[in-house]
Amino acid sequence: MSVDLATERSGVIKWKGAPITLVGPALKTGDKAPDFRLAAADMSTVSRDDVIDHGKRAALLIVVPSLDTGVCSIETAKFSRLVAELPAERIKTFAVSMDLPFAQKRWCVAETVSNIDMLSDFRDHSFGAAYGVRMKERGLLARSIFIISADGTVSYVQIVPDGTHEPDYDAALAAARSAAGT
């Protein structure tokens, strides 16, 4: 899988007020969701088709720079509580970061999070570049949310304008409910 390092976008996000360059395309609702290779907790490879269970469910992807930072930890723990009400058979929630799977697992145990699967883009950065959220200056993923419908299309995109701020939880959950058909 090739990583598109040619497309760079500026003016989309900031980090503590400083401009950040995003690498990759600007995905929008209705686009075919790009494939990716992410590492699961057991180091197995997870693809786009895996997260949507080959067309059987939608996937809510919560993308954070690193679980070992305050805002990312707060956000992911809060989503863990909020997504508990979603029908798991119709939409599954994943947190995606550059953290190693071992660090993700450690964080889940410490925060008692069990209803969000952790995925890491540490191997080849295919997710960050394919979804246009790799921060060039930081080498991390930009805080964002994507929903992939069961048919493999992007049904929701939220790129948080300042990477040190939390996302719009209500908008993301409304989109997740819609993707789940509830």
Do residues 177 and 86 make contact, with C-beta atoms less than 8 angstroms apart? Answer: yes
60: left (phi over 0), alpha (psi -120 to 50) or beta: beta
Q: Tell me the catalytic residues.
A: 72
Distance CA 91, CA 149 (A): 9
Distance CA 71, CA 78 (A): 10
Q: How far is CA 90 from CA 69, 82, 148, 169, in A?
A: 30, 16, 12, 19
Q: Residue 12: inside a domain, yes or no? A: no
Distance CA 52, CA 121 (A): 18
pLDDT at residue 182, rounded to an integer: 80
pLDDT (tens, 9 = 90+) of the chain, 182 residues, equals 444 456 899 989 999 999 999 999 999 999 999 999 999 999 999 999 999 999 999 999 999 999 999 999 999 999 999 999 999 899 999 999 999 999 999 999 999 998 999 999 999 999 999 999 999 999 999 999 999 999 999 999 999 999 999 999 999 999 999 999 88
Q: Residue 10: inside a domain, yes or no? A: no
pLDDT at residue 3, rounded to an integer: 44
Distance CA 26, CA 154 (A): 12
Q: Residue 68: inside a domain, yes or no? A: yes
The sign of the torsion formed by the CA atoms of 97, 100, 101, 103 equals negative
Q: Residue 155: inside a domain, yes or no? A: yes
88: left (phi over 0), alpha (psi -120 to 50) or beta: alpha
Q: What is the CATH number of the domain that holds 115?
A: 3.40.30.10
In the 8-state DSSP scheme, what is residue 43? S
Question: What range defines the domain where residue 98 resides?
Answer: 25-180
pTM of structure: 0.94
Number of independent structural domains in the chain: 1
Q: Residue 57: inside a domain, yes or no? A: yes
Q: Residue 160: inside a domain, yes or no? A: yes
Q: Residue 19: inside a domain, yes or no? A: no
Rg value, the chain, Cα: 15
